Amino acid sequence: MGEKILLATQNPGKLREFKALLSDLGEALLSPREVGIRLEVEESGQTYRENAVLKARAFAAASGLMALADDSGLEVDALGGAPGVRSARFAPQPGATDADRRAYLLQRLQGRPQPWRARFRCWIALATPEGALYFGEGTCEGQIIPEERGQGGFGYDPIFLLEERGVTMAELTAEEKNRLSHRALAVEAIRPVLRRLLRGEPSAG
């Protein structure tokens, strides 16, 4: 009763996606700005799961609320799984933009045989103020293409092709992406726990 969940991210693209994916929870979701918190958590973990836990625990401790964090990344087989956990920091220059990171990735792939098989992977961690942790994971397979397509999404979406659909992640509507993406699948995996904690419903599956 009266429980809230803090979305532990300052990334506006992620906030939009989480609020859309969890729209059934409505007013139970809060952004850091709504509770007056601004945290920059060092993502020092070696895995997505470790980084998600670092962020969820930091926001839960700062707010006294349950906090939901994710860490996700792009894994390209031709680069040995890079950029992986460094996806958001995968560029040689400081202050790089999403476009800079996409350009750098394509530069690194030049001369390597195609197709450039890849996947987006996401881990979600939910931390309670009392220290309990819950997890969800999602993976979306595809390939990297050498030209950008589409205006939607963010990050590496314009160069990530969903082969069975023939479109990039950035060419999907927001509704389509929120059914197919790695983040959508991770949210579905943890949704029963969220319902149980917020509404007292049994956690199934």
Specify the DSSP class assigned to residue 1: -
Contacts of 114 (CB under 8 A, 6+ apart): 143, 146
CB 72 within 8 A of CB 47: no
| Whole-angstrom distance, CA of residue 114 vs CA of residue 106 | 12
- Alpha-carbon distance of 36 to 67, in angstroms, equals 14
User: Which token pair is 42?
Assistant: 């060092």
SS3 (DSSP) at 75: strand
Contact between 18 and 9 (Cβ < 8 Å): yes
Q: How far apart are CA 19 and CA 144, in angstroms?
A: 27
Report yes or no: 22 and 194 within 8 Å, Cβ to Cβ: yes
* DSSP β-ladder status, 66-76 and 116-127: antiparallel
Out of 70, 71, 77, 157, pick the active-site residue: 71
Note if 100 is an active site residue.
Answer: no
Please state the length of the chain. 205
Question: Which residues carry out catalysis?
Answer: 71
